[in-house]
A and B are shown apart, each in its own frame.
Chain A
Amino acid sequence: MRPSRPQPPAGRPAVRRKRGSVHLRLRLGFLVIAMVLSIFGARLVQLQGIDPKSYAAMAAAEGLVEVTLPAARGDILDRNGEPLAASVDGLMVVADPYMTQDRAPELAKFLANRLDVDYFRTLNRLREKGSRFEFIARRVPSTVATDVVTATREAGFEGIATRPDPIRDYPAGDVAANLIGFMGTDEPLGGLERTFDTQLSGTDGSARYEIGGGNRLPLGESTIKRAVDGQDLRTTIDQDLQWFTQRVLRQTVEDSRGDSGFAVVMDTRTGELLALADHPTFDANRPLASPEADLGSRAMSDVYEPGSVEKVLTVSGLIDAGKVTPRTRLKVPGSLARQDRVIGDWFDHGLIRLTLAGVVAKSSNIGTVLAADKFADGQLRDYLSRFGLGQATNIGVRGETSGILPDPSIWTSQTQDRIAFGQSLSVNAVQMAAAVNTLANGGVRVSPSLVRGTATTDEGRRVGTDTTTTRRVVSERAARQTTLMMERVVDPEVGVAPGANVPGYRIAGKTGTAQRVGAECGCYDGSFTVSFAGFAPADDPRFTVYVVVQNPRNGGGGGSVAGPAFAKVMGYALRRYAVPPTGTRPSRLPVEW
C-alpha cells in the first residue's frame, strides 16, 4: 500500500530554487546533526570515560552522611559488679565566636549559670577574634548538654552546638584509684585502664547513609559497620572493703605522721585481692589535682625491707626442715657479735631464755639468727624463693617491682643473718602478703590475683583468677605450728602487738619494724618501715591482711601503728563476709623456759 503522493503545487519549484536543492539541504542538516551529536559524544566520553567519578561523588555528597559509631568503653567492675570506672555518653559544648560575639556577655552569663563553667573564661572564648571553634565545656552528660543547648536556642542565642565527647566516670572517686588509673583526653594514662586498654576500648564502627530532610532515605545507600563495644574488666576488689581499708589506712598514716602506707586484704583460699589500698591516693576524676608521684600504686612499686614480718617465713622453713619445734629452747643474749657487726634486739635485755614461740612473740632478732644458724647452706634462700620473694607477682598492675632476694653468689653468712629477720632483702606488699598467706593456707602458696576470670595485659601476659597457680612451700604441720606461734604475738601478756586483736577471734600475726633505706644516701637513714601482717581466724583462716606504714614520725612500731589498723580492717572483713568466730581456745605455747 503505497500512499499516492499529491503532486506538488505549481508554485513550488520557484521556492525550491530559492532554498537550494533538497540534497544540499539534507547534507547541511546532517552535518549540523553530526556536529551536535559529536559534541554530545565528546561530552559522553568526558563524563563516562575520562572522569566518571566526579559527578557521581557530587551527587552522592548531596545528602550522604558518614558517621563513626563510637564503641562504648568497657566498665571496670568490682567483684560484685559495682562499677569502679564507667563510661557515659557525653557531649562537648562548643561555640562559634563569629556568631556569639555580639551577645557574648549575656550568653556567658547564661552558660555560667547552667553549666559548671567560669564566666570570665567563657566570655573571652565567646569573643575570641578570628576563631570559629571554641570549647565551652567538655565531658558534659549528654542530657544536660542537650538541655542547655536547646535552652540557648529558645532564648534566641546562636552559635552554640554540641559534639560527641565520651565521659569516663569514676563514681567512687579515690576508691581503688591507684589500681584503676585514669583516662587522658583520648587515651588511658595509667593503671588497669592502660594495661587492659585493648579489651576495654573495643572497635569503632561506621555508617554511611543518605538523608533527606533529616530522615534516612529508605531506598538510598546504607552501609553500617557495627561498633564492637569494649568488654568489661571485672576485678577481685570489693569496693566497700577497699573504701574502708583506704580510710583506715589514711587515718593511720596521718595519725602516725608517716610518709605513705599501703594495705592488702587477700582471700586466703583463692589468693584474690579484696583490697589493695594506697595512701596518699588521688581522685580518679581529677588526677591532675594530685602530685604525679601519687598516681601509681606504691603497694606494687615501692620496694622496701619487710623487717620482722619475714621472721615467720624463716621460722616456718626451719620447722619444715625439721630443725626446730615451737618449743625449741634458745638462750638469747643481750647482743650478738657476728662477723661484721653486732646484732641487737629492739628491747634491752640481758640473757633471756626464750622458746622459739617466745622469739616470734617478742620479735627477737638475736633469737631468730640463732635459730636460723641451723639451716643448711642455701636452704633459707630456697625457702624464701618458694614463698615467692624476689619474683614479680604479675597480677596486672603497672610498674611492679619484683623485689630483691640476694643472688646465691653474694649470699654470705652475714647476709643470711640479716635476711633471717627481714633486712637485706626487699619485697613489694603483695609479694609479702602472698608469702604470709602461704602459712594461712596450710603451707600452700596461692598466687595472688586482681582480675576475675582472665585478661590479657598490654605486654601480652594472661592474668586473672583463671591463671592462679598453687605450690606447696612448707608442710601443713610447719604452717600450723608457725600459726600457733604467731598467735602469741597478739597475746596481751606475752606478745608485742595486743592492739592487733579482733575481739572474739583467734588472730595470728607478726609485727615488722624495719630500718628503711633513704633515697638520698642509699643507706639506712634512721627512718623505719612499720608493718603488721596476719590472718584470721587462726585455726581456719579466711583473710590475710597486711598493713605497712612508711616512715612514721610518732615513734611507733609495727605493733602500735600498723596493729590497730590491721585489727580494724580484719574486723570489718570478717563482719562483712559473716565469718563466725571458731570458738576454740587460742594457742598457749610457752614463750620462756
Chain B
Amino acid sequence: MSSPAVQIRSRVPRLAGSAVERARLTVVPRRRVRAARVPFVTLVSLVLLGGVIGLLLFNTSMQQAAFAATALESQAGSLSAREQTLRMELDVLRDPQRVAERAQAMGMVPAVSSPFIRLSDGKVLGIPKVATPLDNLRIRPKAPALPASLNPAPVVVDAPAEPGASGPRNGRGDGRNG
C-alpha cells in the first residue's frame, strides 16, 4: 500500500523542498455521514420480534398438529377396530351354515334340478322337478346315540295269564290307551 507513494516521493526532485513540504497531500478525512439509526434499529427489532413471534406461532401450531394427530390416530384406531368387528359380524352373518339354517327354518329346501331355457330355439334343457321336503339336506350333525346306560334295552317279561283275569277289568285302561 505504501510502496507507490515511496516511489513517487523518490522521483520528486529535492529542489523545492519547502514547496513540496507545503504542497504535500494529505488524506482528506472522510466525512462521516451518520445514517439514521432509528429505522435500522426498528428494522432489526421488527425482524427479531417477527422471528420470535413466528417461531412461537410455528411451535404452537406444531403442537396443535401433534394434538390433532394424536386425536386422529386414536380415532383411526378405534374406527379400524370398529370396521374389523363389523366385518367379523358380517362374516358370521353370511356363514353358509347360518344362511342354510335360516333358509330351512323358512321352509326352503335345496333345488333338485335346474332346467335351462335355450333362448335361440326356446327349448327346455334338463328335467324340471319340484323339490320336496324329502330332498332336504341334513345340515346339523346327527345327535349322538344315547349311551347304553341311558338307553337300556326294553325288558320283556312273559307274564303268565291269570285264569279268569283276561280282558279289561274296567273302562280306565281302555281310556288310557286311547
Give the distance to chain A from B21, nearest Cβ to Cβ, in Å. Answer: 32
Residues of B within 8 A of A583 (CB): 123, 125
Residue from the list A141, A215, A244 in contact with B66, Cβ < 8 A: A215
Q: In this complex, what residue of A is CB-closest to B58? A: A218
B132 CB-CB contact with A under 8 Å: no
Q: Known: A146-B78, A571-B112. Contact between A216 and B70, CB under 8 A?
A: yes
**Chain A residues within CB distance 8 Å of chain B:** 82-83, 86, 88-89, 141-144, 146, 169, 171-173, 175, 214-219, 239-240, 243-244, 247-248, 250-251, 254, 502-505, 568, 571-572, 574-575, 578, 580-581, 583
Which range contains the number of B residues in contact with the other chain? 35 or more
Q: Known: A89-B80, A143-B85, A583-B125. Contact between A504 and B67, CB under 8 A?
A: no
B75 CB-CB contact with A under 8 Å: no
Contact A575 B70 (CB under 8 A): no
Contact A503 B127 (CB under 8 A): yes
B113 CB-CB contact with A under 8 Å: yes
Residue from the list B84, B111, B126 in contact with A581, Cβ < 8 A: B126
Against A, the Cβ 8 Å flags (1 = close, 0 = not) of B56-95 are: 0001001101110110000000101110110110011011
Contact A504 B113 (CB under 8 A): yes
Contact B81 A143 (CB under 8 A): yes
Contact A88 B125 (CB under 8 A): no
Contact B95 A173 (CB under 8 A): yes
Contact B125 A141 (CB under 8 A): no
Contact A503 B129 (CB under 8 A): yes
Residue from the list A88, A142, A143, A171 in contact with B95, Cβ < 8 A: A171
Contact B70 A214 (CB under 8 A): yes
Contact B141 A250 (CB under 8 A): yes
Q: Known: A169-B91, A503-B126, A571-B112. Contact between A217 and B66, CB under 8 A?
A: yes
Tell me which of A86, A172, A175, A219 has the highest count of chain B C-beta atoms within 10 A of its own C-beta: A172
Bound: A243/B84 CA distance, A = 24
Bound: A571/B126 CA distance, A = 12
Q: In this complex, what residue of B is CB-closest to A211? A: B70
10 tightest Cβ-Cβ pairs between the two chains A and B? A171-B91, A504-B126, A243-B96, A580-B116, A142-B81, A218-B62, A504-B127, A575-B114, A503-B127, A581-B126
Bound: A217/B66 CA distance, A = 7
Chosen A-B contacts, 22 in total, with CB atoms closer than 8 Å, are A141-B85, A143-B82, A143-B85, A171-B92, A171-B95, A215-B69, A216-B69, A216-B70, A218-B62, A218-B66, A240-B96, A243-B100, A247-B139, A250-B138, A254-B138, A254-B141, A571-B113, A575-B111, A578-B116, A581-B125, A581-B126, A583-B123
**Chain B residues within CB distance 8 Å of chain A:** 59, 62-63, 65-67, 69-70, 78, 80-82, 84-85, 87-88, 91-92, 94-97, 100, 110-116, 118, 123, 125-127, 129, 137-139, 141-142
Contact B85 A88 (CB under 8 A): yes
Bound: A218/B110 CA distance, A = 62
Q: Known: A88-B85, A504-B126. Contact between A143 and B78, CB under 8 A?
A: yes
Bound: A83/B116 CA distance, A = 31
Give the distance to chain B from A583, nearest Cβ to Cβ, in Å. Answer: 5
Q: Known: A88-B88, A144-B85. Contact between A218 and B96, CB under 8 A?
A: no
Contact B81 A146 (CB under 8 A): yes
Residues of B within 8 A of A251 (CB): 137-138
Residues of A within 8 A of B123 (CB): 583
Tell me which of B62, B66, B70, B85 has the highest count of chain A C-beta atoms within 10 A of its own C-beta: B66
